[in-house]
């Protein structure tokens, strides 16, 4: 008889096997979707490869797309590991971008590295402040964090729309296009420096990797990390241990918000070089998927982020070269999420073959 038993300890070979299987099944279903939409399947997969991995330029492009996703994925990891279901990453990305943009105007003229550090710090601060707001609503008024973060997302997105759509940060062009949904370009010296001679990959990628390493250390090697994990397992027991769970929740949401805020900084000062909504749209929500696929671990999030970055870079090539319908790309991402979540569950179980049932 074959049965499933929960594993007491994880087995790395089994984990690798189930995640590889999820990948293969994901690609098979992708092929099916492509076929059902009348797309040339080999051409589509070749376009995906060409756009994501085929050259140094493609790889840099993938890593560039991955940068904000790794950060919003990490923001998800920090919150979700404590079973705090914050959906606020989207708004925190916007808040981080706005706050950093404010700093870039405020500290214009400061020495280069001090200026950049202030821009990055303010970005983190902006995201963190939104985290504080959700934490206060939860701690003081028992507002469910799912509700509060989603509502705050709307508020901050519309606030940005006001600021760049007629408000004080609206671009004033010299050619009479006076009202549009974007700010003036950021100053050249506010831009995050490019890495490795690329015109795509910027300092933000290093920031994302450093953040992931720092999160890994924090979660697995510090008392606060223990509290995050304990809160996820049993907040009541954590409270009985003497931990102030309200404070822990506040710190977790501050940290999560700060990391998501950094994603806004990297996108505005590394890639789009203007504050505008369309550059930030969806980064937070996609980060939730990335964090989940990464198994809610910082290092897994790097891998998931790079996979999604590759998908984003390759998706463009699929659309342009293989005429893959735009709607299929998020469908493919969603499908991979589903299979990876299944793999995550399967990784915790083992197949046991026993003798005859009696």
Partner 1 sequence: MIKIKEFFKLIVLGSVVTFVLGLMHILHAANTKDVNIAIILCCGVESPWDATMVESMERVKQAKPHGLNITYEYTEPIYGDAVMDAMTLFAESGDYDIIICHMTCSDMVQRINKDYPDVAFVSVGSGNSSKGGNEYWIYKRVHEAAYALGVLAGHMTESGVLGVVGTFPADDVNDEINAYFAGARTVKPDLIQKVSFIESWYDPGKAAEMTSAQISMGADMIFTLASNFAACEENNLLCFGNFADESHYSPSTHLSAPIAIWDRDITRIIDGWFDYKENGVPQNGNTEMMWTSMKDGGAVVAPFHGLADRIPANIRKIFDNTVNDIMSGDLVVELDVSEPKSD
Residues found near partner 1 in the complex (CB under 8 A): 51, 61, 157-158, 161, 165-166, 171, 173-182, 185, 199, 271-274, 278-279, 281, 312-313, 316-317, 319-321, 323-326
Nearer to partner 1, 29 or 281 (CB): 281
- In the complex, the smallest distance separating the C-beta of residue 192 from partner 1, rounded to whole angstroms, is 14
Distance of CA 253 to the CA centre of its chain: 15
The residue (of 232 and 325) whose beta carbon lies closer to partner 1 is: 325
Which one-letter DSSP state was computed for residue 348?
T
Closest to 315 measured CA to CA, from 24, 65, 10: 65
Q: Tokens 């994925």 — which residue?
A: 73
Number of residues that this document lists for the chain: 358
Q: Shortest gap between Cβ of 123 and partner 1 (angstroms)?
A: 18
Q: Find the shortest distance in angstroms from Cβ 323 to partner 1.
A: 7
State how far the Cα of 255 lies from the Cα of 353, in Å rounded to an integer.
Answer: 45
In the complex, minimum distance from the CB of residue 56 to partner 1, in angstroms, rounded to a whole number: 15
CB nearer to partner 1: give 165 or 239.
165
- For the CB of residue 225, give the shortest distance to partner 1 in the complex, in Å: 34
**Nearest distance in Å: CB 280, partner 1:** 9
Q: Give whichever of 62 and 256 is closer to partner 1, judged by the CB atom.
A: 62
Please, which residue, 20 or 173, has the CB nearer to partner 1? 173
Phi-psi map region of 166: left, alpha, beta (phi>0 left; psi -120 to 50 alpha): left
What is d(CA 127, CA 253) in angstroms, rounded to the nearest whole number? 9
By beta-carbon proximity to partner 1, the closer residue of 84 and 322 is: 322
Q: CB of residue 281 vs partner 1: minimum separation in angstroms?
A: 7
Query: Cα 112–116–122 angle (5° rounding)?
Result: 145
Measured from the CB atom, the residue of 158 and 196 that comes closer to partner 1 is: 158
CA nearest neighbour of 320 among 28, 39, 33: 39
Other CB atoms within 10 Å distance of the CB of residue 188: 7
Q: Which of 162, 152, 164, 161 is nearest to 92 (CA)?
A: 152
DSSP 3-state assignment of 70? helix
Which has the closest alpha carbon to 210: 116, 302, 100, 294?
A: 302
CA 305 to chain centre: 7
Q: Which residue has the tokens 């893959």?
A: 324
Smallest distance, Å, CB 166 to partner 1?
5
What tokens does 218 get?
Answer: 């924090």
**Quick one: tokens of 315?**
């998706």
Taking the least distance from each CB to partner 1, the nearer of 195 and 299 is 195
Which is nearer to partner 1, 190 or 271 (by Cβ)?
A: 271
Rounded Cα–Cα distance for residues 309 and 70 (Å): 9
Burial class (CB in 10 A: 0-12, 13-18, 19+), 1: exposed
CB of residue 272 to partner 1, shortest distance in Å: 6
């Amino acid at each position: 008889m074959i049965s499933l038993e929960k594993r007491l300890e994880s087995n790395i070979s089994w984990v690798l096997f189930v995640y590889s299987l999820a990948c293969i099944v994901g690609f098979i279903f992708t092929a099916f979707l492509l076929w059902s939409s009348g797309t040339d399947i080999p051409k589509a997969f070749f376009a995906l490869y060409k756009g994501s991995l085929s050259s140094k330029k493609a790889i840099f492009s993938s890593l560039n797309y991955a940068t904000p996703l790794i950060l919003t994925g990490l923001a998800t990891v920090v919150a979700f590991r404590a079973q705090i279901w914050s959906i606020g990453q989207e708004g925190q990305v916007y808040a981080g971008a706005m706050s950093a943009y404010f700093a870039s105007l405020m500290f214009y003229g400061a020495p280069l590295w001090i200026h950049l550090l202030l821009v990055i710090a303010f970005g983190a601060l902006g995201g963190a402040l939104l985290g504080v707001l959700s934490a206060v609503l939860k701690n003081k008024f028992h507002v469910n964090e799912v509700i509060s973060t989603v509502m705050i997302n709307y508020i901050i997105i519309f606030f940005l729309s006001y600021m760049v759509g007629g408000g004080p940060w609206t671009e004033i062009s010299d050619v009479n296009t006076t009202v549009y949904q974007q700010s003036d370009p950021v100053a050249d010296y506010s831009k995050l420096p490019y890495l490795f001679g690329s015109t795509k990959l910027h300092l933000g990628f290093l920031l994302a990797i450093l953040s992931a390493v720092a999160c890994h250390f924090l979660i697995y090697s510090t008392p606060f990390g223990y509290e995050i994990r304990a809160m996820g397992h049993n907040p009541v027991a954590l409270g009985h241990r003497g931990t102030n769970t309200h404070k822990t929740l506040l710190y977790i949401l501050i940290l999560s918000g700060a990391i998501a805020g950094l994603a806004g900084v990297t996108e505005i000062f590394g890639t789009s070089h203007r504050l505008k909504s369309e550059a930030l749209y969806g980064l937070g929500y996609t980060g939730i998927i990335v964090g989940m696929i990464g198994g809610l671990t910082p290092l897994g999030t790097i891998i998931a982020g790079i996979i999604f970055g590759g998908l984003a870079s390759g998706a463009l090539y699929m659309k342009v070269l293989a005429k893959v319908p735009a709607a299929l790309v998020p469908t493919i991402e969603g499908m991979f999420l589903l299979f990876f979540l299944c793999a995550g569950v399967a990784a915790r179980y083992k197949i046991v073959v026993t003798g005859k049932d009696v």
